[in-house]
Amino acid sequence: MQNLFSAPDALQGELTEILAHSSAVRVERIVSHGHVTPEGQWYDQDQHEWVAVLVGQARLRFDKGDVVELAPGDALLIPAHERHRVEWTTPHTHTVWLAVFFTPDG
């Protein structure tokens, strides 16, 4: 059994755990604590990503200029190859994400 909300008090880096996976889908739990995407780097992935914030808050920036603020319960679908980065996560507590990566149809 696993608890989605439990995490070590101190994190050296962002914690990413694969909870379930198949050839077409991967479910991850990500725990951030003030972590951001390094300056100049962008995520540009081959799969769609559905992401939800369970605890904490985060800010995503998209290459096209859009900025999205996420609070507990907020979810977002990021299409494959939509360049984005994590610009901010809550610095005083954990931000717990649930992310589902899946292959586009076609």
Total residue count of the chain as it appears in this document = 106
Estimate to the nearest angstrom the gap between the alpha carbon of 30 and the chain centroid: 6
Q: What is the pLDDT of residue 106?
A: 58
In order along its 106 residues, the chain shows pLDDT tens digits of 889 888 877 777 889 999 999 999 999 999 999 999 999 999 999 999 999 999 999 999 999 999 999 999 999 999 999 999 999 999 999 999 999 999 987 5
Q: What is the pLDDT of residue 34?
A: 93
- What's the one-letter identity of residue 53? V
For the domain with range 15-102, which CATH number is right: 2.60.40.1120, 3.90.930.60, 2.140.10.10, 2.60.120.10? 2.60.120.10
Domain chopping of the chain, boundaries: 15-102
What contacts 4, CB < 8 A, 6 or more positions away?
29, 54, 96, 98
This prediction has a pTM of 0.91
